């Protein structure tokens, strides 16, 4: 289902394969193969395509069939990226392509990632239980229950459970809208 979602998002923008290729640095032939399900892109490639289309990468990976706007707790979709310790339970219906809202948890002493990560967009994190050390490039912030932090996701960051109980937090991420024909950042990685 990844290919048809890419094709649908591309057509919604009124772009040709050549125009999308110019924004992703992939060939139109490769993108056509992806849209038809002939080629399977890597996670990094999917992220680059999603960024060019100004949609969350999660949107391309999930079943986005139309349905109820309600997400039951037992039906939350779990997103876990390779190399990232934290797993996200999506709170938005799969059809949401402009905002990602998720709940996540980390056991004591565990970080969301073993290294600083960055990605396009903005995010806001709200600590529900526990203690979080939010590590942002050169800065570090201690957050406790009820505290929140807002950041430009291009700032390298990760989160650490610095307490003795499970850390549970809510995260809302919005992708940065790429200007039509504008440059697309290439050095991001998937991550929190």
Sorted by where each starts, the structural domains of the chain and their CATH numbers stand as: 2-61 (1.10.260.40), 73-174 (2.60.120.10)
**CA-to-CA separations, 84 to 162, 178, 189, in angstroms, rounded:** 17, 26, 11
Model confidence at 66, pLDDT cuts 50, 70, 90, reads low
Share of the chain above pLDDT 90, in %: 40
Does the pLDDT value for residue 167 go beyond 80? Answer: yes
Residue 64: its pLDDT value, please? 47
Q: Which residue has the higher pLDDT, 113 or 180?
A: 113
Across the range 146-169, mean pLDDT stands at 94
Does the pLDDT value for residue 63 go beyond 70? Answer: no
Q: What is the C-alpha to C-alpha distance for residues 42 and 28, in angstroms, rounded to an integer?
A: 16
Residue 86: its pLDDT value, please? 81
Residue 75: its pLDDT value, please? 81
Q: What is the C-alpha to C-alpha distance for residues 34 and 9, in angstroms, rounded to an integer?
A: 13
Across the range 73-90, mean pLDDT stands at 78
Does the pLDDT value for residue 85 go beyond 90? Answer: no
Q: Which residues contact 129 (CB under 8 A, 6 or more apart)?
A: 145, 165, 166, 167, 168
**What is the per-residue pLDDT across 105-120, written as a single tens digit (0 to 9) for each?**
999 999 988 888 887 7
Model confidence at 180, pLDDT cuts 50, 70, 90, reads very low
Does the pLDDT value for residue 31 go beyond 60? Answer: yes
Q: What is the C-alpha to C-alpha distance for residues 89 and 116, in angstroms, rounded to an integer?
A: 21
Q: Specify the range with the lowest mean pLDDT, choosing from 26-35, 78-87, 129-138.
A: 78-87
Residue 84: its pLDDT value, please? 72
Residue 177: its pLDDT value, please? 54
Which pTM does this prediction carry?
A: 0.59
Does the pLDDT value for residue 55 go beyond 90? Answer: no
Mean of the per-residue pLDDT values of the chain = 82
């Amino acid at each position: 289902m990844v290919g048809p979602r890419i094709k649908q998002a591309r057509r919604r923008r009124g772009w040709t394969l050549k125009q999308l290729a110019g924004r992703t640095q992939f060939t139109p032939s490769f993108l056509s193969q992806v849209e038809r399900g002939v080629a399977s892109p890597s996670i990094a490639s999917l992220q680059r395509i999603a960024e060019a289309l100004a949609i969350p990468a999660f949107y391309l990976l999930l079943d986005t069939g139309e349905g109820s706007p309600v997400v039951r707790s037992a039906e939350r979709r779990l997103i876990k990226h390779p190399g990232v310790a934290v797993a996200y339970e999506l709170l938005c219906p799969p059809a949401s392509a402009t905002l990602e809202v998720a709940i996540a948890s980390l056991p004591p002493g565990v970080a969301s990632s073993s290294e600083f990560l960055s990605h396009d967009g903005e995010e806001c994190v709200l600590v529900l239980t526990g203690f979080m050390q939010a590590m942002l490039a050169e800065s570090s912030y201690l957050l406790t229950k009820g505290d929140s932090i807002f950041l430009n996701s291009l700032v390298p960051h990760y989160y650490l459970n610095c307490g003795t109980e499970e850390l549970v937090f809510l995260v809302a991420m919005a992708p940065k809208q790429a200007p039509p024909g504008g440059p697309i950042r290439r050095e991001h990685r998937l991550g929190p």
